[in-house]
Structure formats: C-alpha cells, structure tokens
Copies of this chain bind each other. A is one copy, B any other.
C-alpha cells in the first residue's frame, strides 16, 4: 500500500510523461505550464488511494486520475482569466493567461478539457467518461452561480464547484477498481464529506466563502465536523483505508 506521498510521486511521474495530441502543436507548452504549476494533486491522489483501498490497480487508475487533474487545471486556467476572476498569479508565478496571453489561455483550457476526455475514454467502460462529464457540467454550473450571484445558497454552490469533482475522484477510483455500482454509496458519501472539508478549509485560508458566512470559528467547527464524519465513513468500510484517513487528517490541518 503506497502512502499519499508515494501516490503523489507516481502521479507526477505519469503526468510529466503524459503524451498530448500532436495536433496541439505549440499550444502544448501552455498546457504543460498550467499542469506543472505545483498543485497539491489532491483529486488524483484521492482517486488513486480509493482505487488501491478497493483492491484496484494504481497503473490502471492513472489515466482516470490524470483526467481529473486536467479538468481541475482547465477550470483554473479559465477562472483566472480577466473576464472571470482576473488572477494574474497562481501559486507564486504568472497564471497561464499572464504568461501566454488571454487568447492562448482560452484555447489551452479548452484543450485541457478535451484531453481529459481523451484520457477518460481510454477505458473500455464509458461510465468513467460519463461520470467525468456529469461532474464537469456541475462544476461549470457552480462557477456560473458564483460569478453571477444567482444562488444565495453557498453550500449548494460549493457542492457544485468543488464537491462534484471530489465525488468523481472517488467514483473514478471505484470504477477503475471494478467496484459494483450497488457497493459504491458509502465511499461516495465519504468523498462528499472530504470535498466539503477541503472547501471550508480553503475558505478559512483565503478568508472568503464559509469563513465570511460563518466566521472563522464557525467555519472551523464545520470543517472539523466534516472531517469527523469522513473518518466515521472510512471506519464503516471493509477496506484498508489508512491512506484515505491520512488524506482526511492532512486536509483538516493544512495551512496552504
């Protein structure tokens, strides 16, 4: 059983060698730049850890894990655009549009999204690509509510913006491991709690979202409750879930 750090190393190695479509030509540089921005890789690690806990194979799961990271990266590249959140920096260096121009960043995000589907479609089972597509539509809908203020229910917005891709990380790990649909529910509830935990801690660190709505103390309480429920869910699974528990603990106490 690999630790979370070992899973991350396996994933980063896979991602660095990932072949992209030759038709992209020099646009590939912008995709690589966006992918190599040193993210936490939490979604692919979650996907790989779920697959391993469910007796799946890491190598088989890597394309699905990469598909999740490409969808996440596509959303960052587009959200950072001046037309949306207008962030010129991401993780201490110029965001993709600041480095390559707005037009190239639009196309790079588009290409990351399509490459994600190409990875998800490398499996014989179309359910993997279907779940990725459903989660991505939800994520885009959440981002639209966020920029337009259409929905005052913050929990609903976050469930779409962040929760759907976390749930898909669990779902793709289960599908890659061949876990039958009727046995997936408790794992998926764990994924939802983990997504909520991630988002609330994110808001505490950024001083927005739940931290504004509930105050820092209230947000911390919500995060701790989500972490506790996530651990409970793991305890209810008949599986070796120590790496997943490590992920819960890491997300609960993270400071960056």
Measuring CB to CB, which residues of chain A are less than 8 angstroms from any residue of chain B?
A: 21, 23-27, 74, 78, 81, 83-84, 101-107, 109-111, 113-115, 117-118, 121, 123-124, 126, 129-130, 133-134, 136-138, 140-145, 147-148, 150-151, 160, 164
Contact = CB atoms under 8 A, between A and B. Distances in A.
Nearest to A85: B103
B114 A133 contact: yes
Nearest to A132: B117
A133 to B, nearest CB: 5
Counting chain B CB atoms within 10 Å of each CB, the highest count among A101, A130, A164 belongs to A130
B118 A137 contact: yes
Assembly stoichiometry (copies): 2
Nearest to A138: B23
A42 B164 CA distance: 35
A21 B114 contact: no
Given A106-B106, A107-B144, 9 more contacts: A25-B141, A25-B151, A83-B105, A109-B110, A111-B141, A118-B133, A118-B137, A124-B126, A126-B129
Contacts of A147: 103-104, 107
Given A103-B147, A130-B121, A144-B104, A137 B83 contact: no
B113 A25 contact: no
Contacts of A134: 21, 118
7 contacts: A83-B83, A103-B147, A106-B106, A111-B141, A114-B137, A114-B140, A121-B126
Contacts of A25: 141, 144-145, 150-151
Given A114-B113, A121-B130, A129-B129, A27 B107 contact: no
